[in-house]
Amino acid sequence: MSKTLLVAGVDEVGRGPLVGAVVTAAVILDPDKPIEGLMDSKKLSEKKRDALAEQIRQHALCWALGRAEPHEIDQLNILHATMLAMTRAVDALSIRPDFVKVDGNRCPQWAYASEAVVKGDSKIAEISAASILAKVSRDLEMAELDKQYPQYGFAQHKGYPTAQHMKLLAQYGPTEHYRMSFKPVVMALQQHDGILNSGSLNSGPQYA
């Protein structure tokens, strides 16, 4: 009797935001416990994502999260930091996969047999599951950060460079959770310093 090939799906969330970690997930699904409705996490409502994430955590053979922090993103650049976070997620799986399928057009340099699948989060159930876990996890982190810094609106824009976020960033300046190498953050820091030096902003919270 042939052994079932253990395939892990890997995806990331958070390459585009200006703040917070890039978060990855790796998932090996249980073929005996199929999960209905898996698809690209961006195409699901928050309620549906949360419900599916709970099913994945309960029914998958194993799953794990990986991450690269803002200072690592600044040191390595976002691409290499994402590859590092993906490697950390797969390394953290309690079962070693026979094969890894990664969303996108490249795989990390690792010891796993693997392939990159463009738009894999809408084609391959394991990658869809990873996409959902990564997004639910990162969105929760942004909600927690919003509690610490309510003036930035993290719960709404999730750290992405929306017009409202850019306005608030220019007003308050970046916190330690920002990716200081990202151009909009560099520009906002310069703009914020200019506003402070002109004395036109009331002295509010200051961050290094």
Whole-angstrom distance, CA of residue 128 vs CA of residue 40: 5
| Residue 90, C-beta contacts closer than 8 angstroms, at least 6 positions apart | 8, 10, 26, 64, 66, 97, 100, 110, 112
Instruction: Read off the pLDDT of residues 107-142 as tens digits, 9 standing for 90 and up.
Output: 999 999 999 999 999 999 999 999 999 999 999 999
> Which domains does the chain possess?
7-146 (3.30.420.10), 150-198 (no CATH)
Percent share of the chain, pLDDT over 90:
85
Whole-angstrom distance, CA of residue 41 vs CA of residue 119: 12
Yes or no: say if 170 and 192 are a contact pair by the CB < 8 Å rule. yes
Per the DSSP assignment, residues forming a β-bridge with 13 are 23
Say which residue, 86 or 40, is predicted with more confidence.
86
Per-residue pLDDT at 201 exceeds 80: no
